[in-house]
Structures are given as structure tokens and as C-alpha cells.
Structure 1
Amino acid sequence: MTFKFLRCVLLVGCFTLLIQVVNAQEATQHQTLPTVQITLQDITLEVEYAHTFEQRAMGLMYRKTLCGQCGMLFKFSGSKKASMWMQNTFLALDVAFITSDGVITDIKPMQPHDLTSVGASQAVLYALEMNQGWFAKNGIKVGDKMVIKTP
């Protein structure tokens, strides 16, 4: 019984270590994302720019913090009724869905680890994730326009 118990403990320990290594690798991937400058009303931000499938799939997963003026702009492969979810995401976020001409169609809250899809009400090309409450705090609302400085 002692040998089986030790083997089980060792196996669980190895599995836990493997998960920690994978999570650490995934968490550091965000450091290589390009940034893009955007303007919402009179607020100019430098946000991370997820424009490839892999970058969009990773998003803000595994992040434990996000600075007050930080965010991530997702550019989809084409305009569509996009949706987002919060798998492996520890942060409470708001997502603004944005058309190809920069108009915000929706701003929706998203809760950590919630696998419920949060979708745009119409076809959009972009989604901007910011800390939950950031849009309201800065007076950004549906109908406002985002301007992107072309990278």
C-alpha cells in the first residue's frame, strides 16, 4: 500500500508540475504580441493586437493582471457575428464589438472562466477587451467610434 501511495503522489506531482510549465509558457506568449495605437473619443491607447488565429485563440488567457489602460484588440479574418468566451481567463473583462468602420455595436461584460459565448449583435471586424468597467469609467458607449493607427 505504501508503494502504491507514493507512486500516486509522484504521478500527481509530475502532472501538477507539467500543468504549471504549460501555463507558464502560455502566459508568457503574450509578451511577443505586437501593439497597435487606437483612439476612442479623446483617449489614445497602445493595446496588444491579436490578428492571427493563434493570437486570437490565446487572447488574455492565463493573465492575472492587466494594467488600467491596457487591453487587447482582436481583428477577425473578416466581418462576422463574432463571439468571445473566457476559457482560462482570470480577469473580469468588458468586450466592445466594433464594425469595420470603427463603430462600437455592443459593450458586454465577461466573467472569469465563464464558457458562455458573448456575441456581437451584428457583423463586426474587431473586438476590444479591457478591464471590466473601463468603458463606463471613460464614458465610452455603443455608437462611439474607434480609430486605429494602421500598424
Structure 2
Amino acid sequence: MRISLRSLFARFAFAVALPLAAASFTLAPVHSAYAQQMPPGAKQPGDFPRTRLTVGMFVIDAAVAANDPDREQGLMYRTQLAPNEGMLFVFNENAVHCFWMKNTLIPLSIAFMRADGTITDIDEMDAETTNNHCPRNNGVYALEMSKNWFESKGIKAGMTMQGLPAAQ
């Protein structure tokens, strides 16, 4: 194989210039693309602990809200979620835990679950509303996903969520 010095130089210049050009771009942290301006004291999306859940054949990357301040903030101020991303709410007591969407900018679906992971209720919630969304059954977990996520995956009440952290 014959290669000219000029061709060799051109390939070398391209091989060196491409990584240098890519390195010159600064990328914003991932969480800033998913949230509007957070108020003082609010947790950034990437600061929540995370867990991996499964239901049926689907894997969910869930932020975990297991204390009062995290549960109160939830997905407020977020402008989008990744395709299989959600937020898992873990409660200290087996009870009816109601949700609303004040300061939540994206429409969501919510699944309420018993301690054993059985989904008891699924509801659809519109963005920036104060309507109460309460399950008909007691539970210790709730999982918020993008609107219609559960329906689009064929996930229904009676199915079981795996990988849930222990309730406190």
C-alpha cells in the first residue's frame, strides 16, 4: 500500500484536531438540562440517592425520596425525565399517601405500592395542579414516572415492583 507524505500529514492533522476540537466544548452538568432554576435550599436532581427497580421486563432508574424534605420537593422544578427515569417515594408508615403537582412542571404518572411491592393504584397527574391524587389502598411506596409510562408499558395494578429499598 502506497501513501503519500501529504496524505499521511492530512490524516495525522485530522486525528489530532478532532479530539482537540471535542475537548474545547464545555458540557453543562446533566442535571441542569433537566431542571429549571432551583430555589435556594432545593436539592439538584443528581443529588438524590438512586436505585434500580424492575417491573415486568422494564428497568427503572429511580431517584429516592425517603425523608420529609426530599418527599416535599420530589420532582418539583424538573423540566423533563429520561425515558425510564422516575422518583421513588419511601414512607415511614403504611397509610394513604396523597400527592399533588404544585411546582411540578411535567405531567406524571404515579403508582402506589404496598410494602411487598404490589402495585395497588396508578393515576395520571397534570402538571402544576393542586388536585389531590390519593390511592384507594394503604401503602409505603409511590413511584412517579413520565405521564402514561405505566400504561404504555402494560403495567397495571396487581403487578409487583422489584428492588425496592426497605421502608424506614
Fold similarity call, TM over 0.5: yes
1:92 pairs with 96, 103, 107, which one?
Answer: 107
Q: Which residue of 2 aligns with 1:108?
A: 123
Q: Secondary structure at the match of 2:116?
A: coil
Q: Render the CA deviation track for 1:6-34: whole Å, top value 9, x for unaligned.
A: xxxxxxxxxxxxxx9653763x5222100
Q: Does residue 61 of structure 1 match 2:56?
A: no
Q: Which structure carries more helix by proportion?
A: 1
- Return the TM-score normalized by structure 1: 0.80
Q: Which residue of 2 aligns with 1:41?
A: 56
Q: Which residue of 2 aligns with 1:133?
A: 148
Q: Render the CA deviation track for 1:96-118: whole Å, top value 9, x for unaligned.
A: 00011111111000011110110
Query: Quick check: which has more Rg, 1 or 2?
Result: 2
Bigger RCO of structures 1 and 2 (CA < 8 A, at least 6 apart): 1
Which ranges in structure 2 are unaligned for 5 or more consecutive residues?
A: 1-35
The separation in 1 between residues aligned to 2:98 and 2:163, in whole angstroms, is 21
Q: Which residue of 2 aligns with 1:71?
A: 86
RMSD, aligned CA: 1.8
The separation in 1 between residues aligned to 2:64 and 2:38, in whole angstroms, is 23
Q: Which residue of 1 aligns with 2:45?
A: 30
Report the alpha carbon displacement of residue 37 of structure 1 after superposing the two structures with TM: 1.2
The count of aligned residue pairs is 131
Q: Which structure carries more strand by proportion?
A: 1
The separation in 2 between residues aligned to 1:22 and 1:101, in whole angstroms, is 34
Q: Conserved in 1, the CA contact under 8 Å of 2:37 and 2:77?
A: no
- Return the TM-score normalized by structure 2: 0.73
The separation in 1 between residues aligned to 2:155 and 2:37, in whole angstroms, is 38
Which ranges in structure 1 are unaligned for 5 or more consecutive residues?
A: 1-19
The separation in 1 between residues aligned to 2:113 and 2:68, in whole angstroms, is 18
Q: Which amino acid aligns with 2:72?
A: A
Give percent identity, aligned residues only.
33
Q: Which amino acid aligns with 1:23?
A: P
